[in-house]
Structure 1
Amino acid sequence: MQPVDLTTLNAICAELRSQWLPARLEQVYQRDAFTVCLALRTLDQRGWLTISWHPQAARLCIEPPPPRSPDTFTFSQQLRHQIGNLALVGIDAIAPWERVLDLQFGQRPGDPPIWHLYAEIQGKYSNLILTDRDNQIVTAAHQVNLQQSSVRPILTGQPYEPPPRLTTPIPSLQEPKEQWQERISLIDAPLKKNLMKTYRGLSSALVLAMLRQAQLDPEQTTSSLTSDAWERLYDTWQIWLTQLEKETFHPGFTPSGYTVLGWEVSEPAESVQTVVRHYYQEQLNRQEFSQLRHQLLQKVSNVLQKLKIKADGFTSRLAQSDQADTYRMQADLLMAHLHTWQVGQQVINLPDFETGEPIEIALAPTKTAVQNAQTLYKQHQKLRRARGAIEPLLAEVVEETQYLQQVEAALQELSEYQDPEDLQALKEIREELVQQNYLEDPAYRSREQRDRSESQPYRYASPNGLEVWVGRNNRQNDQLTFRTANDYDIWLHTQEIPGSHVLLRLPPGQTPDHEDLQFAANLAAFHSRARDSEQVPVVYTKPKNVYKPKGAKPGMTIYKQETVIWAQPGHFRQKPPIHLESLSKT
């Protein structure tokens, strides 16, 4: 993930100073453990300034309003109490070429600051610290005690000390080319390494972009550079410093991330805030998606393994109960031939009632023939009772296994992050597993359920322009089948295979062509556990023929009057179907 470096931070501050000063602080809301949102109002506009001290995505930018869920963090309550309704009168770096900003708050615009909110945007050492006018720390997002750091503890009541300053030279427009070149080439090493070690304020992303702009190899040693190469690099260096000094930035997205210098831009952006907001939201979504998907898949896989062991045990005990009739038959034979029994016998051979073939029956030598027969009758009754008890338990295990296989299929469908809808669909699966008591997270449940935006199903266009809707998870499957579907639609699902519910949407009175029906069936097979098969049986019927059994888990249905059609998911493995959302964007 590309960090906010000094260049980006200067670009952010330049925009904030020009558009959001002075501003009234109307509200403070803490979104999560690493992010605080400040509601600012100027004479012309109102917005939310997001300040994050996330170890990988520390940033400062204007973002949309946060969700309306309760804020239970102590840090935001302290900020609200101390600086609420004050005026933001200044945003300045505490020193040149430092990534620490001083957000200054006064009683009203033009007044001297009485509170300072220091935003330290420094990677894993990022922090947000509130001090009074005497620079005494009042509260901090992340307090650091003496055991954690003896160099720079951050504790309430202590004076605020800036992070230790770097000793490397500061880049300057006035520095002669000869001195600049001499500093960089003092030790013969790769160009990228020497640039970052020689001057402060440089990030890896900036140096790489600068070297590509100058058409140089980052691993090229300084001793191998020609005079023309040094000239190109110095010109690029001067362009960078000029943009910093004049605050003329050109934000945009690049193939590898973003830039505020206009270099290698693949998609221009209207503002630095837009670039920072979209990039880091996208990266954090991807990170959360990957972690959550791994967590859910691991949990579902573990439960399925336990259910398999339980089902194997029940099946084994049922196999044993199949011998119940054998015990009864042996007991009947013994009772019918009591006269052939002798004291102390351990084995007796008696003719079968039907075939006359001899049957060997084991006996307890210390018991009489009647007592041995009673023991066999008891064993028969015991196994019969066991079958009656085990069969419903095995049915429950099979039903639960089918449900979790459906969940697992939905998780496997969400193989990679493409848009925020994918993350929302994953969160809905997590919520479903919490509700079904597979996950325990009461804090998540109470916080997320109050403000939840539901994800939407996949939407595709058939060859003749009909819409085909595909559920992303069990919640969407139930929504499509029992709420969205009307009498004219066609419902499709893979036969006896976990997968998504699919709706072929039809206008009133229209019947689907075979081409459209085959397209929808291929989609049903593609969005199932049989995606890698050559041919997959898919059933289709009217939505009115689909039912949810009483007490059934989400996504589980039964159907009738179905027709089977063979689908070929491989068609979409070679050429993925086009989303209607993608068509609308183009």
Structure 2
Amino acid sequence: MAFDGIVVANLVHELKQELINGRIAKIAQPESDELLLTIKSPAGQRRLCISASASLPLIYLTDTNKPSPMTAPNFCMLLRKHIANGRIIDIWQPKLERIIHFTIEHLDEMGDLCRKDLIVEIMGKHSNIIFCNEEGMIIDSIKHVPAQMSSVREVLPGRTYFIPDTMEKHDPLSISGQDFIETIDSKPLPLAKTIYTSFTGVSPVVAEEICYLSGIDSSITPKELSEDIKLHLYNQFTIYFSAISEGDFKPAIYYNGNEPKEFSSLPLSHFSNYTRKDFESISEVLDLYYSSRNAITRIRQKSTDLRHVVQTALERARKKYDLQVRQLKDTENRDKFKVYGELIHTYGYNLEPDAKKLDALNYYTNEMVTIPLDPTKTPQENAQRYFDKYNKQKRTFEALSRLIEETKEDIDYLESVQNALFIAQTEDDLAQVKEELIDAGYMRRKFTKKKIKIKSQPLHYISSDGYHMYVGKNNFQNEELTFHFAVGNDWWFHAKQAPGSHVIVKTNGDELPDRTFEEAGKLAAYYSSMKDKDKIEIDYVEKKHVKKPRGGKPGFVVYYTNYSLIIDSDISGIQLVE
């Protein structure tokens, strides 16, 4: 999805209507790279979320508040000092860059009226929030960029702010027809790529749209076009971008089924196969799509340490398992040594002294075998040597069989924890997984920290037929659901032979309709490691047939009779109880 210059222009248009002459009532920094401004404007109180996250930079108006750290970061304190209660007098975008300037008027320590610029750069991993004085000098930024990180531009206090023109792109809002034609002719690239690499703020999707509206194949090069066709392309290009100057934006999300495939601020006619949903506000579009994605991204970042612990333990367990399997393979011939010992006892009486081998009939297979002998030993000593070999490998086989089973259980357990980290949605979910890893001995508890009360609960869905369905988000919750919450006639679902959540359907003594079985199966598929497969096999059984093996790890069960169904993992139509 493209957060391009057109979307930024739509945002600027919307923010001007909502925030101009608004006063900054509150400045918070809930994350290291994110600001949340509360602004009291003539249109009412609004919250502006600004994120310079490298993985998910964005800016939009939201109704959602976020908890802030107990101690405000330095950048937040600096902004509070300078622009708290400041008035936003202008919001503007240079050309069609992915940059928004907020010009803020405030009183300094002497009571004099001053202006400062808060500059938001939405540029992928180079995104930043930069605070400048009226002369364009950088006071500070949410991310410092020294010369060692960038040879193009330093972003440090005391440096002059400028926009690096590394791509030498043209402004699509002001380019003439002749310059447009000369620009596209200068690049031997496919037409769509030529457009989005030549003009500021144009994404690949918009470049494809302009080619589609012009009726030109986007894969041919500009050199293949006649002058009339190039002029026609320029006219279509100008018409498309004139909507920006006129403020005629049409925010929308395009869906492929239930999956959002693209969002835009101007119509995308070439997405005719997708379902278009229109919105009044571009902030609503960004909030709807990015807020959930942003939450997932944050949780992924915060679970990095836990995922590293699990991945390291998993790699170690898998190496151990492979080694044990190879060692077990070496004991496959143990019975041969027992037979050798028996044959030496049977036929060794007529061996000549210093014999190096014994040819004998194996009465188990009725085949002749040649048995190597140690010429320095008697037949009885040779036989005992083979019996000792047999007994040693038998003991090794028995010990390794137990160890392999234990190691496989460790791998299965760690894969289930890995799946729990993947489906974690809140910090409480992560805290519960961390507690599980501590209990299992994979992490140490830090006694210096105060123990936090964990509020994480299983997910709660309601089937189309009104039955309550519960999904465990980790092994502790799986254990609780299956062995303490569910009763005998409730139904239990789980992805077959794959890490995943336990799903419990409360029957209230009723016979469940087929549709509820299917929806519970979809939940078990979605919250498993197999969710990306087209079809997933799900085991389901009444809870009374599910048992916990003695000494089993949390969430591990056995069952000997079950039903199965093949289902997909589309849960879009199932109601989640918040």
Q: Which amino acid aligns with 2:36?
A: L
Is residue 481 of structure 2 the alignment partner of residue 485 of structure 1?
no
Relative to structure 1, the CA distance from residue 438 to residue 36 in structure 2 (aligned partners, 3 Å threshold; closer, same or farther) is farther
TM-score, structure 2 as length reference: 0.68
* Contact 2:341 2:384 (C-alpha < 8 Å) held by counterparts: no
1:556 deviation in Å? 1.3
1:29: Cα distance to partner? Answer: 1.8
Letter in 2 for 1:240: I
Q: Give the match's secondary structure for 1:367.
A: coil
Residue 259, structure 1, aligned to residue 276, structure 2: no
SS at match of 2:114: coil
User: Does structure 1 retain, via aligned residues, the 8 Å contact 2:27–2:80?
Assistant: yes
CA 56–378 in structure 1, closer or farther in 2 if over 3 Å, else same: closer
CA distance in 1, matches of 2:349, 2:230: 115
Identical counterparts, % of pairs: 20
Q: What are the equivalent positions in structure 2 for 1:185-196 lying under 5 Å apart?
A: 185=181, 189=185
Change (3 A) 1:27 1:483: farther
User: Do residues 312 (structure 1) and 314 (structure 2) align?
Assistant: no
**Aligned residue number for residue 246 of structure 2:** 242
- Distance in 2 (CA, whole Å) between partners of 1:533 and 1:96 is 45
**1:92 counterpart = 2:91:** yes
Name the counterpart of 1:78.
Answer: 74
Note the alpha carbon deviations across 1:288-345, whole angstroms, 9 max, x for none: 999999x9999899678636523522432443444575477578x48xx998776434
Alignment of 1:441-480 (within 5 A): 456=459, 460-461=463-464, 466=467, 474=475, 477-480=478-481
For structure 1, list consecutive stretches of 5 or more residues without a partner in the other structure. Answer: 173-178, 415-420
The unaligned stretches of length 5 or more in structure 2 are 256-260, 270-274
Residue in structure 2 matched with residue 505 of structure 1 by the alignment = 506
The residue aligned with 1:121 is 122
1:487-535 CA deviation, whole Å, 9 max, x = no partner? Answer: 441234577777654434212x43457x579758976996789999999
3-state DSSP of counterpart to 1:386: helix
Alignment check: 8 A CA contact 2:4 2:202 kept: no
Q: Cα offset for 1:385?
A: 3.9
The 2-side partners of 1:151 and 1:120 are apart by 15
**1:26 aligned partner:** 26
Quick check: 1:534–1:568 contact (8 Å CA) kept in 2?
Answer: no
CA offsets, 1:136-189, max 9 Å, x none? Answer: 4343344344455555333333343454597846736xxxxxx94444445785
Superimposed CA distance per residue, residues 388-424 of structure 1 (whole angstroms, 9 cap, x where no aligned partner): 532321221332355467679x69xx9xxxxxx7977
Amino acid at match of 2:3: P
Structure 1 residue 66, shift from structure 2 partner: 6.7
Instruction: Report the counterpart of residue 393 of structure 1 in structure 2.
Output: 403
The 1:232/1:441 distance shift into structure 2, 3 A limit, reads farther
Kept after mapping to 1: 8 A contact 2:470/2:505: yes
Q: Within 2, Cα distance between the matches of 1:114 and 1:188?
A: 41
1:581 aligns with 2:575: yes
1:37 aligns to 2:35 (yes or no): yes
2:173 pairs, out of 171, 174, 194, with 171
Measure the CA separation in 1 of the matches of 2:231 and 2:387: 103
SS in 2 for 1:309: helix
Contact 1:106–1:114 under 8 Å retained in 2: yes
Shift of 1:38: 2.5
Q: Determine the C-alpha separation between the residues in 2 that align with 1:134 and 1:283.
A: 37
The question of whether the paired residues in 1 share the 8 Å contact of 2:503 and 2:524 is answered with: no
Q: 2:363 matched to 1:367?
A: no
Amino acid at match of 1:36: E
Secondary structure, counterpart of 1:257 in structure 2: strand
Tell me, yes or no, if the aligned pair for 2:177 and 2:234 is still in contact at 8 Å: yes
**Secondary structure at the counterpart of residue 266 of structure 1:** strand
Q: SS at the partner of 1:42?
A: strand
Residues of 1 paired with 2:74 and 2:333: CA distance? 67
Confirm or deny: 8 A CA contact 1:120 1:126 kept in the other structure: yes
Change (3 A) 1:66 1:385: farther
Q: Count residues with an aligned counterpart.
A: 539
- Superimposed CA distance per residue, residues 472-501 of structure 1 (whole angstroms, 9 cap, x where no aligned partner): 765664353234423441234577777654
DSSP 3-state at the match of 2:34: strand
Q: Output the CA distance in 2 between the equivalents of 1:350 and 1:200.
A: 88
Change (3 A) 1:184 1:484: same
CA contact (8 A) 1:330 1:376 kept: no
Q: Given the superposition, is the C-alpha separation of residues 487 and 344 from structure 1 closer, same or farther in structure 2, using an over 3 Å criterion? A: closer
> Which residue identity lines up with residue 456 of structure 1 in the other structure?
L
Q: Does 1:224 align with 2:228?
A: yes
Residue 288 of structure 2: aligned partner: 278
Query: Are 1:553 and 2:553 an aligned pair?
Result: yes
1:435 to 434, 437, 455: 437
| 3-state SS in 1 of match to 2:2 | coil
Letter matched to residue 242 of structure 1:
E
CA distance in 2, matches of 1:51, 1:104: 16
Give the counterpart letter for 2:7 in structure 1: T
Q: Provide the residue aligned with 1:60 in structure 2.
A: 59
CA shift, 1:380, in A, is 5.0
Q: How far is the alpha carbon of 1:538 from its aligned partner? A: 4.5
Quote the RMSD (CA, aligned, Å). Answer: 5.8
| C-alpha separation in 2, matches of 1:130 and 1:533 | 49
1:185-230 deviations in whole A, cap 9, x for unaligned? 4578588678768875655555555666677766684623499987
Aligned equivalent of 1:12: 11
In structure 1, C-alpha distance between the alignment counterparts of 2:243 and 2:370, rounded to whole Å: 100
* Partner Cα separation in structure 2 for residue 186 and residue 134 of structure 1: 36
Give 1:360 shift. 7.6
Q: Which letter maps to 1:485?
A: A
CA distance in 2, matches of 1:113, 1:526: 59
Per the alignment, residue 176 of structure 1 pairs with none
Q: CA deviation at 1:435?
A: 2.8
Separation in 2, partners of 1:193, 1:148: 29
Kept after mapping to 1: 8 A contact 2:413/2:553: yes
TM-superposed deviation, 1:557: 0.8
SS of equivalent to 2:253? strand
Match of 2:258 in 1: none
Change in 2 beyond 3 A, CA 1:202/1:450: farther
TM-score (structure 1 length as normaliser): 0.67
Cα separation, partners in 2 of 1:357 and 1:237, compared to 1, 3 Å: closer
Q: Could you tell me whether the CA contact under 8 Å between 2:106 and 2:114 is conserved in 1?
A: yes
